[in-house]
Structure 1
Amino acid sequence: MRARWLNCMKFCSSIDCSCLHILREDNQVDDALDKNGQGLALLSSQWWPAPPTFLLPLLHRDSAGLSVSKLILD
């Protein structure tokens, strides 16, 4: 059992990861999908054969490399 624990600890120490917070303004496609999904029943899903129309302007903005600015006042 100890050998398994040591192998697990060795493996975990070899993992290199980082966590980042991305503001909603920088990920508007995901934010729009989240808002759309809020109206769904629990444990249900939606599938589209093509991007839904509410995403098209956001996808075009992303593909053009346009950014969104946010002003934070204290």
Structure 2
Amino acid sequence: MPVTANLAAFVDKDYQDKSLEELVDAPVAALAGVSERAATHLKEALGIKTIGDLGRSQYFLTASALVQLAGKDR
């Protein structure tokens, strides 16, 4: 079953018409609020190049789980 969602608030204007599959392969800087400089730092420090890399990162997954378990997910 296809999933649709309005992702305009989450990605830069150039990526608002992309499919979820395309967004996963898009550069991290396509996320709203992530600058090219921040994306470069993520690439250099952690090897994260795409939104998919970020979402699958063991560091971010672990941090997210810890925050949720601590009940501090606000």
* TM-score, normalisation: structure 1: 0.25
Q: Quick check: which one's helix share is greater?
A: 2
Question: Which is higher, the Rg of structure 1 or of structure 2?
Answer: 1
